[in-house]
Amino acid sequence: MIALQRIFTSISLLAAASATFSFAKSSEHNEEETKAPEGMVLIPGGSFEMGGDPGLMGGGSQSHRSSYPVHEVVVDPFWLDATEVTNAQFATFVEATGYVTFAERPLPAEFIESMQRAAAENIRKLQALAQQTTGREREGILDSIERIKEALEMGDRAGAIVFKLPEEEIYGEYDYTQWWRILPGANWRAPEGPGSTWIGREDHPVVNVTPEDAAAYAEWAGKRLPTEAEWERAARGGLSRQPYTWGATFAPQGEAVWMANIWQGVWPYENTGDDGFTSTAPVGSFPPNPFGLYDISGNVWEIVSDRYHPRTYSERSSQPAVNPTGPSPELLLRYGRGAPAYVTRGGSFLCSDAWCRGYQPGARQSLEFDSPANHTGFRCARDVAPEKTATTGDGKQ
Ligand SMILES: [Ca+2]
Ligand SMILES: [Ca+2]
């Protein structure tokens, strides 16, 4: 899978401004809890099998390895946005609150120093690697060194990580800088960096946001981010152990009807856009899953509230796990990584059959708290009224 952390062990954006944001909830969200909130779908509570998808997950990918064992989970009912949060919705939030996203904030001096140390170390490793190689591979490594040096000229704004089609044949799949670039001017307003704009893409999902940005929006909207378990419960649409959010087969409506905005072509060179989109699509452009959720598979990865750990599932010894909220603090302490990572779900327009299959409902991916990227967004959840939260029946459909 597209491992952003790979870039960030090389060119870390690390912690930026630690300002916390708190907003008055907008009055429009004070409607009676028992009514369906606008744009939200009631996800029934109950039990489901959470975890890896039978036979189809990509071999040794992070998504594959961390999605086992399959285990029983019970969640209470909750509301979930039918679509990913759009640029227009995020713009309303920004206008109302003055919120500044991570990607737009100044970088503290210590942040830049740390980034420069990490980059110098990575350049040293690449230079050593270049000395052991020849030809195209050596040229590719030297190109990567230049890209890292360019990224260091990023100025005083964090920016975001943006996918760029490699112009030449890649020399190895371990160097993610061949298709991911840190662009200082990239943020939610400029999804692909300077010269691009969200204007005209009002109904596309907002991108280049961090878990903190997503949580701030959710708080303002009177909502919250879903837990990872809630997200998967919703994504599976009441189906049990199916490889897709819509069911058992990849193209149930025929080969002409794509069920999600994913990647077609030879990854990462050729993005044919056979499904109609080479980047984000307006939310709701593809058929919904059985719960009525759009783009729960594909379009953009969706940030959830759980911290990431590859062994989250294997730690769950009690069965079933009831309303789990992520790995234990003890497990996180043993993780041994500096930058807190969160779970993202559902894959994106960059997910291909050959590379990650992140669009499968069991697939999971980590996102460092400081890694906004142009394939990552979110949707929001909301508790149902207390009298409706009792879990009844097994909830399976
Ligand atoms: Ca596509
Ligand atoms: Ca999605």
Q: pLDDT tens for residues 277-330?
A: 999 999 999 999 999 999 999 999 999 999 999 899 998 877 899 999 999 888
Helices (H), 194-323: 211-220, 228-235
Quick one: pLDDT at residue 61?
A: 61
**The CATH number fitting domain 4-101+203-389, selected from 1.10.3720.10, 3.90.1580.10, 3.40.50.11540, 2.60.40.10:** 3.90.1580.10
Beta-carbon neighbours within 5 Å of ion ligand 1: 261, 275, 277, 349
| Confidence check: pLDDT of 32 > 60 | no
pTM: 0.84
What's the CA-to-centroid distance between 48 and ligand 1, angstroms?
30
When mean pLDDT is compared across 23-32, 140-149, 192-201, 374-383, the lowest value belongs to 23-32
What's the CA-to-centroid distance between 70 and ligand 2, angstroms?
22
Quick one: pLDDT at residue 4?
A: 33
What's the CA-to-centroid distance between 296 and ligand 1, angstroms?
14
Quick one: pLDDT at residue 286?
A: 98
What's the CA-to-centroid distance between 82 and ligand 1, angstroms?
20
What is the number of the ligand closest to the CA of 350?
1
What's the CA-to-centroid distance between 330 and ligand 2, angstroms?
30
Quick one: pLDDT at residue 80?
A: 98
Pick the closest to residue 111 from 5, 213, 185, 8 (CA basis): 8
Estimate the share of the chain in helix, then strand, then coil, as percent rounded to the nearest 5.
25, 15, 60
What's the CA-to-centroid distance between 344 and ligand 2, angstroms?
10
Query: Could you please report the per-residue DSSP string of 157-219?
Result: B--EEEE---SS--S-TT-GGGTEEEETT-SSSSTTSTT--STT-TTSBP-S--HHHHHHHHH
| Confidence check: pLDDT of 384 > 60 | yes
Query: Rounded to an integer, what distance in angstroms lies between the CA atom of residue 194 and that of residue 174?
Result: 28
In the DSSP assignment, the letter for residue 376 is E
Pick the closest to residue 249 from 73, 53, 43 (CA basis): 53
What's the CA-to-centroid distance between 280 and ligand 1, angstroms?
7
What is the number of the ligand closest to the CA of 278?
1
What is the number of the ligand closest to the CA of 288?
2
What's the CA-to-centroid distance between 34 and ligand 2, angstroms?
26
Mean pLDDT for the stretch of residues 217-223:
98
Q: What is the Cβ-side half-sphere exposure of residue 142, based on CA atoms within 13 angstroms?
A: 10
* Residue 356 · residue 301 · CB < 8 Å: no
Per-residue pLDDT of 70-122, as tens digits, reads 999 999 999 999 999 999 999 999 999 999 999 999 877 777 787 788 888 88
What's the CA-to-centroid distance between 239 and ligand 2, angstroms?
18
Strand ranges (DSSP E) for 113-163? 160-163
| Confidence check: pLDDT of 30 > 50 | no
Quick one: pLDDT at residue 173?
A: 67
CA gyration radius, the chain = 21
- Name residue 392's amino acid: T
What's the CA-to-centroid distance between 348 and ligand 2, angstroms?
6
What's the CA-to-centroid distance between 115 and ligand 1, angstroms?
33
Per-residue pLDDT of 230-244, as tens digits, reads 999 999 999 999 999
Pick the closest to residue 16 from 166, 148, 160 (CA basis): 160
Mean pLDDT for the stretch of residues 249-261:
94
Q: Residues near 48 by Cβ (< 8 Å), separated by ≥ 6?
A: 72, 73, 75, 232, 233, 236, 240, 395, 396
What is the number of the ligand closest to the CA of 297?
2
Q: Residues near 283 by Cβ (< 8 Å), separated by ≥ 6?
A: 83, 84, 86, 203, 204, 205, 294, 295, 299
What is the number of the ligand closest to the CA of 301?
2
Residue 74's CB: how many other CB atoms inside 10 A? 20
| Confidence check: pLDDT of 389 > 70 | no
- Strand, helix or coil at 321? strand
* Residue 361 · residue 235 · CB < 8 Å: yes
Quick one: pLDDT at residue 207?
A: 98
Q: How confident is the model at residue 335 (pLDDT cuts 50, 70, 90)?
A: low
What is the number of the ligand closest to the CA of 279?
1
What's the CA-to-centroid distance between 363 and ligand 2, angstroms?
12
Residue 298 CA: distances (Å) to CA of 63, 113, 144, 256, 329: 15, 36, 29, 17, 30
Query: Rounded to an integer, what distance in angstroms lies between the CA atom of residue 62 and that of residue 16?
Result: 26
What's the CA-to-centroid distance between 276 and ligand 1, angstroms?
6
Residue 366 CA: distances (Å) to CA of 5, 215, 277, 342: 8, 16, 25, 6
